[in-house]
Chains A and B, each alone.
Chain A
Amino acid sequence: METAVSEVATKSDHAVPAANIPATMKAAVYVGKQTVRIEEVDTPRIEPGEILVRVEACGICHTDLKKIEYDLLAGPRIFGHETAGTVVAAGQGVTAYEPGDRVVAFHHIPCLDCFYCYRRLYAQCPVYKKVGITAGYEPAGGGFGQYIRVMDWIVQRGVERIPDTVSFERASLVEPFNTCHKAINTADPQPGDVVAILGQGPIGLMFTLLAKRAGARVIATDTIDTRLALSRSFGADISLDARSQDLSASVKKLSDGRGADLVIVAVSAPGLVEQAVRCSRPGAKILLFSQTSDKERVEVSGADICVSERMLFGSYSASVDLQKESARLVFGPEMPLEDLISHRLPLDQIASGFQLARNPDERSLKIIVQPQRWTS
């Protein structure tokens, strides 16, 4: 017992902020009214059981864009939840991590002990809905700040170590990859199934990799040539240009006139869910992955669901059950995920990153913010 106590004490000595942790830091703060401002804020302080991480890379996610564009959550908040960085301080009682460890951290982790957790519906767990990482203000992920405070229940189950050979940028893909991994397992495509994936942004391309991995035949659609080309190198058997082709007719032609067995809607655009239904065969499954805003309405024919016996369902956020396997796949050589990263931006250019993510060009895919970098 004596020994154990003294070990804890040693760890907590580390927790005293080291000289190289500044008292204030820079962060991109959402202040409301669609406005993000770079501000100087206090560096977060940690409590027992928590760790402080210096953020090295944080991906921009479309849910960040929606939160800002539709003012879904009141400011001020610091968003950013696809986070990789280095542990710089470990609070009292933390034994699993110490300063210098390179880690990714998930901002949502379930309790594993409630009605929803027992049913593996982790995203519906009340603890999961709380955000366990903050760079200040109401916890909101914090990855768009230079340091984050990772709270105790996240430290216990939501942190994965990054191997030395893997970049922080690549590692930051573990969180979005895990959300796709969970969704594909829920959708459960069977080998030989025809899976149509609408949208080949970073998420759609991850779905292409995962559907291919499950032995499915993948039809990928997008409106950007480079994304269509990349989808084929990611394993899509066929890519279709949604600008010039009648998608449902093309998908049917490629599936003996039937339509796809599974359609994954990996982009949010008006009329897209209806299009997904038209691309699918009777009895097919249609997965809504990108319909995260409660402002978005979808219209489909009831008979296309009822009479044609289709199943419309959703998958949201990550699965703690698949977290280690997702990390293994992202960190390993199997998946060409490096090709997804198109931009690495210093923190002060985050607004242009949001702009680009909202209006992707021929080159842009995953846009990653590096909060330790600063140009102006």
Chain B
Amino acid sequence: MKTEMMAAVLYGKEHLEVEPVAVPKIGRGDVLVRVRAALTCGTDVKVFRRGYHARMIVPPALFGHELAGDVVAVGEDVKGFRVGQRVVAANSAPCLDCYYCKRGLENLCEDLLFNNGAYAEYIRIPARIVKRNMYEIPANVSYQDAALIEPLACVMRGLEETHVRPGDHVAVIGLGPIGLMFVRLAKIYGARVIALGRRPTQLDRAARMGAEELLNTSTEKNVVQSVKDLTKGRGVDIAIEAVGKPSTWQMAVSMLRRGGTVNFFGGCPNDSHVALDTSLLHYSEITCKASFHHTPMHIRKGLEAVTRGDITARDFVNREEPLTNLLEVMRHLMSHNGHMKTAIIP
């Protein structure tokens, strides 16, 4: 067993190094995984650009959180996993014992345990994640497919929280990987999707994911009016903001029908503020929701969806790069919009 490995360490704003570090030691309930695929995520790019994240990671730290790989060592107390198994592990696990966990809000757990370090040859999966949020990958599912379950679980929960129903008009603003997952799932759930994006390539992808109507926000003069025109003047039942900008949060609210629900899925930079029209909110009974993170139930549902083939890496991952290129990949993703995920193969 090697004692040293290559891993990405995030030091701060736009500062990361791929460098030799010690292979993590595992405790009695932990599992050591040889990473076979680690996917880039918009949140990673955000963290790289900003140098911080509210809850998930505090630099300097090992980096990366969407992964799948092979079990190479198991602690003595581990049950249900053995060396050689292909596994996928989520990036967190709740305590199941706090105020929030007892109310089914495990994503808001007071003691949510995060795990980073997917951009590395090996990663330690701590006991709590092994117990609650790690699964063997079914034979027909690839590492990259499996690594999608973390973002997918967030999206599934986000969509369920808006109580989408078959036949609903759902507007999805922002067509990165997350927005496209919303398009695909909303379509699978029977909704009629209006996809809003800035680039023709993204809109093409949204059409392939099942969007019924496409609106190019960089050429459309009045986006909100266009959305209303597509819904008999009413507005959409549900709007999903998958960008993370105060201006699109506002836009999302203004395209709702009376009694509609908005999900502010894209997190904005710290200290952002949004001004909302109070009479619109009040007299039109707008429900504003935001969704953060996932729960063990949704990780499980995400794995089921990937296993069924509802979501596959083919549609969401369009590049593979070795770990040594991570800095370049992050810089590229930061400066270019409209990208899908890159699979880092350490």
Q: Are the C-beta atoms of B190 and A192 separated by less than 8 Å?
A: no
Q: Which of B159, B165, B189, B308 contacts A185 (CB 8 A)?
A: B165
Main secondary structure of the interface of B (DSSP, over half): helix
Give Cα A215–Cα B185 distance, bound, in whole angstroms: 9
Closest Cβ of chain B to A169, distance in Å, is 24
CA distance A191 to B160 in the complex (A): 9
Chain B nearest CB from A267 CB (Å) reads 23
A210 within 8 A of B: yes
In the complex, chain B residues whose CB is within 8 Å of the CB of A213: 166, 190
Main secondary structure on A side of the interface with B: mixed
CB distance from A147 to the nearest CB of B (A): 34
Q: Does A225 sit within 8 A of B, measured CB to CB?
A: no
A190 vs B166: C-alpha distance when bound (angstroms): 10
Q: Which of B156, B160, B166, B304 has the most CB of A within 10 A?
A: B166
B301 touches A214 (CB 8 A): no
* Contact A215/B188 with A192-B304, A192-B305 known, Cβ cut-off 8 Å: yes
> A191-B160, A215-B189, A215-B190 are contacts. A210–B166 as well, Cβ < 8 Å?
yes
Number of interface residues of A (CB under 8 A): 11
Is there contact, CB below 8 Å, between A191 and B189? yes
Known: A210-B166, A325-B167. A190 touches B188 (CB 8 A): no
Interface range on chain B (Cβ under 8 Å from partner): 10 to 19
Min CB distance, B212 to chain A, in Å?
11
What string of 1s and 0s marks CB contacts (under 8 Å) between B138-181 and chain A? 00000000000000000010011000011100000000000000
Residues B305 and A214 in contact, CB atoms below 8 Å apart: no
Contacts of B156 in A (CB 8 A): 191
Across-interface contacts of B308 in A (CB, < 8 A): 217
Given A213-B190, A214-B189, A215-B189, the answer on whether A192 and B166 have CB atoms closer than 8 Å is no
Chain B residue nearest to A217 in the complex (CB):
B308
Residues of B close to A215: CB separation below 8 A = 185, 188-190
A186 to B101, CA, bound (A): 29
Contacts of B301 in A (CB 8 A): 192
Taking CB atoms and an 8 Å cut-off, the chain B residues in 106-140 that contact chain A are: none
A325 contacts which chain B residues (CB < 8 A)? Answer: 167
Q: Please give the distance in Å from B156's CB to the nearest CB on chain A.
A: 8
Interface contact A191-B185, CB-CB below 8 Å: yes
Q: Which residues 282-312 of B have a CB within 8 angstroms of A?
A: 301, 304-305, 308
Which residue in chain B gives the minimum CB-CB distance to A213?
A: B190
Give CA–CA (A192, B159) in the complex, Å. 13
- A253 CB to closest chain B CB (Å) equals 16
Say whether, besides A185-B165, A190-B160, A214 and B304 are in contact (CB < 8 Å).
no
Instruction: Output the least CB separation between B51 and chain A (Å).
Output: 37
List 4 additional A-B contacts (Cβ < 8 Å) besides A192-B301, A210-B166, A217-B308.
Answer: A185-B165, A191-B185, A192-B304, A192-B305
Chain B residues within 8 Å of A, Cβ to Cβ: 156, 159-160, 165-167, 185, 188-190, 301, 304-305, 308
25 A-B contacts, Cβ less than 8 Å apart? Answer: A185-B165, A190-B160, A191-B156, A191-B159, A191-B160, A191-B185, A191-B188, A191-B189, A192-B301, A192-B304, A192-B305, A210-B166, A213-B166, A213-B190, A214-B165, A214-B166, A214-B189, A214-B190, A215-B185, A215-B188, A215-B189, A215-B190, A217-B308, A325-B167, A329-B167
Binding site for B on A (CB under 8 A): 185, 190-192, 210, 213-215, 217, 325, 329
8 tightest Cβ-Cβ pairs between the two chains A and B? A213-B190, A215-B189, A191-B189, A213-B166, A214-B166, A215-B188, A214-B190, A192-B301
